Amino acid sequence: MTVDSALASLADARALVARTSTAERVADAVRNEVVEGRLRPGGRLPEVALAETLRVSRNTVREALSQLVAERVLVREPNRGVFVAVPGPADVRDVYRVRLLIEPAAVRDGELAAEPSALVRVRDAVLEGREAAAREDWPGVAGANQHFHRALVGLAGSERLDQQMGLLLAEMRLVFHRMTGPTAVRAFHEPYLDRNDRIAELLMAGDREAAATQLTEYLATAERQILAAYATL
C-alpha cells in the first residue's frame, strides 16, 4: 500500500475531521490508516498533502503528527520530515508487556464481558477472519485479528483502555509489516483463527477465567514467534 493510496483512504475521514478541525481527530484518522495497514513502516507523511487531503491547516497537521511521534507511531527525522515508525525487538517486547496486562484483565474482569452485544463484536471479528481466510485474503485475516483484539479490550467498557489499545494496535500493525509476503503473513496468522474461535467460544459460554488463560498463552506465543522472525531479518 503506497502513501498515495493511504491519502486517498484518508479522504474518507475528511467529514469527521471537518466537524471538529482538531489535531486529535487528524491524529485519529492517520493512526487508523496505520492500524488498518494502509500506511506502512518507513513511509513519509508530507504535511502539505495531508493538509490538502483532510482540508485542515498545516499547523493542525503538524500538531497531529507531533502527537503521533510522541505515541511512537511516527518518527521525525531532522531535515527529512515525518515517517511511519519501524519497530524493533525492544518495541515488540514492550508492546506485548502492556498487552499481557490489559487484554487478559479485560476478558476476565471486564464489566461488558457478559453483555451479548459486546460478545457479538468478538464473534463478528472471528467470522471476519474466517471469511477472509476463505478468500485467501491474508492481509484481511491480519486486519480481522486486530478487530478481534480491539473487541476483547472493549469488554472492559473503558474509553481510556480503548484509546490505549488503538495505540498498541497501530504499533502491532507496523510490527506485522516486518513479516513480509503473503506466505509469511499466512503462516503467522492462520493458526490464530482457531485460537480466536476458542476464546470466543469460552466467552460465549461464560467461562471468562479459561478465556483469559488461553489469551495469556496466546499472546506469549505470538511474542516469541515475532521475536524469532525479527532475529532472521
Each residue's pLDDT tens digit, 186-205: 889 999 999 999 999 999 99
Same domain (yes/no): 123, 162: yes
Is the domain of 42 the same as that of 151?
no
93 with 131, same domain: the answer is yes
Residue pLDDT, tens place only, 61-78: 999 999 999 999 999 999
Q: Are residues 197 and 113 in the same domain?
A: yes
- Tell me if 44 sits within 8 A of 81, measured CB to CB: yes
Which one is predicted more confidently, 14 or 34? Answer: 34
Indicate yes or no: pTM above 0.85.
no
Provide the grid cell at 226: 515475532
125 and 150 inside one domain: yes
- Enumerate residues 6+ apart whose C-beta is below 8 A from 40: 1, 84, 174, 177
Cell 506466505 belongs to which residue? 183
Q: Which helix (H) or strand (E) holds 49?
A: helix 47-54
For residue 23, what pLDDT is reported?
Answer: 87
Residue 8 has pLDDT above 80, yes or no: no
Report the pLDDT value the prediction gives residue 11, as an integer from 0 to 100: 65
Q: Mind listing the pLDDT tens digit for each residue in 113-131?
A: 889 999 999 999 999 999 9
Q: Which of 37, 81, 66 is nearest to 174 (CA)?
A: 37
If you search the block for the grid coordinates 467529514, which residue do you land on?
15
Identify whether the C-beta of residue 163 lies closer than 8 Å to the C-beta of residue 100. Answer: no
Structural domain span for residue 61 = 3-84
DSSP run (H or E) holding 2: none
C-beta of residue 156 within 8 angstroms of C-beta of residue 112:
yes
In this structure, the answer to whether residues 97 and 80 fall within a common structural domain is no
The answer on 144 and 52 residing in a single domain is no
